[in-house]
Amino acid sequence: MNVRYRPNPAFEEEIRAQPQHEKGMRTITKGVAKAVRNVAPERTGYYKRRVKADGTKVRARDVFWHLVEFGSIRNPPYGPLRRGVIAAGLRFVRRPKP
């Protein structure tokens, strides 16, 4: 008997539709938000206080979050969001734009 594996293209949507997924993600995002605050440098105090877990997402509510994350001419890129995701034991993957 030869059985061939066929990936389910709707797998991610089916998982996200389950109530257990959101509950589990809320726990994970709290840990990621804490990791982001831990890896953010002390000089970004306001930024550190404005990183919050919001449901299944981690949000940086600082108006200048992009300068802390990606840097500018006078500031180095600290990357606390990217580094925090990795520090929490997850893999940072950029989603392609639709």
Per-residue pLDDT tens for 30-87?
A: 999 999 999 888 887 788 889 999 888 888 898 888 898 899 998 889 989 989 988 8
Q: How far apart are the first and last CA of the chain?
A: 40
Phi/psi for 96 (5° steps) reads -70, 145
Of the candidates 72, 45, 50, the one whose C-alpha atom is nearest the C-alpha of residue 63 is 50
Which residues share a beta bridge with 58?
53
Query: What pLDDT is stored for residue 98 in this prediction?
Result: 64
Confidence (pTM): 0.73
SS3 55: coil
- As a residue count, the chain comes to 98
Give the residue from 31, 22, 88 showing the smallest Cα distance to 56: 22
